[in-house]
Structure 1
């Protein structure tokens, strides 16, 4: 979109859209969203899917199901203008838009309900109804009437035991919240999971295809797609663009991005922004490659290094290349799993300890299912960037951090942020579009610290594309 075009300020576009939400986590939102996306795709429709919040794994699955890229939407981390732009752009090319919520409908600040209300998205409630009947109707009725700015258009009863079970729920529902579908308990529809959430789509592509098609077939028998397509289309307004704001330039800078099963937690929006600023991107595998590509800066994103720690430790030529890059004072950003890779050792879930890069003193170790998560701002010397943390590991013996993440609301210090030479390492996953200027400085071959006040976090929401 050309930000100098006067029509960009007032233009709007309409598109059928629905927000798929649930009263709690674990109700089957992603399974249903993926199945519905595949059903609509099989019907020849262009389906654009979005995921609420900072999730990495669900978007991988939803992208495979829909055949289209999947963006994350978060009012705090990304900003309203960014979210509005993404929805508007999708509506211009899609036949239908699906937005999957996060956690329970009203959980968090901002919540799934806040996002749905902000953009006028009608809600389909997905609920696991195992062990209840009329109570499911009572819960849906309460959800539908909890806020005046949220529109609930129906219920999908998941894990429904029988036709009689379905009937009991349907008869108890209020007339303005119909039962749009009921799916049986069926393990062949559920998506595979591990300790940080769903298994990466790239690891189980063929298995996912079978589950997508089974889910699409089940939903087709319920005529859910037809019911949702009959809803009034949602009007998406074009975001206001400031023609005087320009993105910083990264022209002439090549960023090497680690990309393999160990390092895959990457926002597509981050890659898009780097390219919009003029950077060249190249990819490499710390597991399989013996050398680094020619590049000026490196990004080691999060992922599952604990599952591939033996392979990472055994790739001595790659470790030597990374040590050389570090010693040359070239910029490296290491996030979460990337941080663990930069430590001296990593102990996996089998209590096996593996030698890592040793760019930072310290030892990493996995610690069961309990972990840290939450939204934080990384107050980097280059400028503040909003981010989030989600990990099941601990790090010990690390150096004194240069600062800590600033939590969204809690006053306690957030994740420590380390710096050694040009390496910046933390458990935080940065959302680059929140502060393009800080990101450009971070990856610059020459250190370029900010000269403005840290409260000035000009995001892509306020920048032109």
Structure 2
């Protein structure tokens, strides 16, 4: 039977990713089977959690993924894990749906991580607000992060209202923190001392009451509502899901995967394989050729950080051109799409030639250009996903359609452009394939 905990905070930047990863590492060191989930459409935090837990980290989002999808994945984890950790997104109550909505829906006990570096008794007020803002929230307790001294810790604990569980403190420790850049944390593979950082955080958490976590049996809290399911997960887990149809049987999908093309939902890969596809991974950065395939997928990532190297991969770009000319499917998301335009101008102002399969140029911006859930009505059907990028596309190409923003679906507010040439489909949207498996499969078929 699994023990579960949702790690949240009053805002971003409080250290919840480091705490969640540190807990995953701590429980793994104790010999427990740990599964970590991330609220919302995130790619970078899950990479860290996958290393800390030695297991894939999946996403939970009641809008993008759907309630049925979330329940199925949590149920599967509850059957096979000793501990389930769910990292929240932004502040506990931020967004619609929020981390608090997920906690209430699945009765996940909430641990509030509060950065106490610049506060004393106000810590108690913040903790009280998080615990009582929604009366039906299953609140577990509070952890003080970046604490200065034992005396500081004593003041923080004394400030708590009666009934709020004190889960200890973690001191400020730059050697245990995780480095960041414009899209968030660095990729796990880029942090050379990642395991040392995780162990250092685990050592601190080992001194807290959380080292002996016991929140009760989680498996009983996963009843699925009678509402029609939006999502279908491959396989059958606890009788909640139905097998995925073999729509991609005998099809080979070449998938770019390296530091430039790295934003891949595990659920997307799982679904493609469950529908019968053979997945052939390759690294354009390393100069690996495009595998023999029926379709190509260029996921998002950081082409702007590797543009100089990508610009030298003319053979790869020629292979893509031949693939598209043969009317074979090519799906390019965000960073993948950025490599298909004529040029890419990076954050330093340098311009690099790209694949020239789409007319125009990509220019990096100093500020966030777009963020949020997106729903796209394609000729194949409707898919949901999200967008998060610092670049803009300048192109004369007329879009096939535009996605719609999650927060304005009622008034059809225009979202990201979706481009199509022959069987090439490109957009800034990162699609969540299980939101509509049949549509996802159709994108990879001639």
What is the aligned counterpart of 1:224 among 206, 210, 220?
210
1:431 CA displacement? 0.2
Aligned to 2:44: 57
Quickly say closer, same or farther: Cα 1:398–1:387, change in 2 above 3 A: farther
Displacement of 1:237 in angstroms is 3.2
Query: Using the alignment, how far apart are the partners of 1:248 and 1:148 within structure 2?
Result: 45
Deviation at 1:32, TM superposition (A): 0.2
CA distance in 1, matches of 2:277, 2:330: 15
Instruction: Determine which of 298, 302, 305 is the counterpart of 1:304.
Output: 302
Contact 2:114–2:143 (8 Å) recurs in 1: yes
Three-state SS of the structure 2 residue aligned to 1:272 is helix
244 and 86 in structure 1: CA distance in 2 versus 1, 3 angstrom threshold: closer
Deviation at 1:347, TM superposition (A): 0.5
The Cα RMSD (Å) is: 1.5
Question: Is 1:26 the equivalent of 2:13?
Answer: yes
**Equivalent in the alignment of 2:230:** none
Gap change, CA 1:139 and 1:95, over 3 Å in 2: same
Equivalence for 1:164: 151
Looking at structure 1, the residues matched to 166 and 396 of structure 2 have their Cα atoms a distance apart, in angstroms, of 54
Report deviation, 1:242.
8.0
How far does the alpha carbon of each residue in 1:406-428 deviate from its partner, in whole angstroms, 9 at most, with x for none?
Answer: 11122420000000111000000
Does residue 210 (structure 1) correspond to residue 191 (structure 2)? The answer is no
Give 3-state SS (helix, strand or coil) of 2:133's partner: coil
Checking the alignment, whether the CA contact within 8 Å between 1:418 and 1:426 is kept in structure 2 is yes
Looking at structure 2, the residues matched to 435 and 247 of structure 1 have their Cα atoms a distance apart, in angstroms, of: 12
**Superposed CA offset, 1:71-127 (max 9, x none):** 001000111111001000001111111000000000100000000000001100001
1:237 matches 2:235: no
* Deviation at residue 342 of structure 1 after TM alignment: 0.6
Q: In the alignment, which residue of structure 2 is the partner of 1:386? A: 384
2:427: which partner in 1? 426
Report which stretch shifted further, 244-253 or 374-383: 244-253
Pairwise CA distance, 1:178? 2.4
Give secondary structure in 1 for the equivalent of 2:255. strand
**Contact (CA 8 Å) 2:364, 2:391: kept in 1 or not?**
yes
Native 8 Å contact 1:248 1:436 kept in 2: no
**CA distance in structure 1 between the partners assigned to 2:241 and 2:296 by the alignment:** 31
Q: Which residue of 2 aligns with 1:459?
A: none
CA distance in 1, matches of 2:388, 2:189: 21
Which of structure 1's runs of 4+ aligned residues deviate more than 3 A? 236-246
Please, which of 38, 48, 52 is the counterpart of residue 25 of structure 2?
38
User: How far, CA to CA, are the matches of 2:23 and 2:240 in structure 1?
Assistant: 37
Q: Distance in 1 between matches of 2:66 and 2:100?
A: 15
Alignment partner, residue 443 of structure 1: 444
Within 5 A, what are the aligned runs for 1:24-103?
24-103=11-90
Equivalents in 1 of 2:94, 2:45: separation in Å? Answer: 18
Tell me by how many angstroms 1:22 deviates: 0.3
CA distance in 1, matches of 2:373, 2:162: 39
Q: Does the residue aligned with 2:438 lie in a helix, a strand or coil?
A: helix
Displacement of 1:245 in angstroms is 7.9
Partner of 2:109: 122
Structure 1 residues not aligned, in runs of 5+ = 1-13, 446-465
Contact 1:254 1:282 in 2 (8 A): yes
Give the SS at the match of 2:167: strand
For normalisation by structure 1, the TM-score amounts to: 0.90
- Matches for 1:166-205 after TM superposition, within 5 Å: 166-204=153-191
State the Cα deviation string for residues 382-422 of structure 1 (Å, max 9, x = none). Answer: 11100100001111124110110111122420000000111
Q: Secondary structure at the match of 1:362?
A: strand
Contact 1:88–1:238 under 8 Å retained in 2: no
Q: Find 1:317's aligned residue among 300, 306, 315.
A: 315
Contact 1:360 1:398 in 2 (8 A): no
**Structure 1 residue 142 displacement after superposition:** 1.1
Contact 2:244 / 2:271 at 8 angstroms: preserved in 1? no
Aligned length: 429
Q: How does 1:335-350 map to 2 (within 5 A)?
A: 335-350=333-348
Extract unaligned runs of 5+ from structure 2: 227-238
User: What is the CA deviation profile of residues 347-374 of structure 1, one whole-angstrom value per residue up to 9, with x for unaligned ones?
Assistant: 0111110000011101001112423100
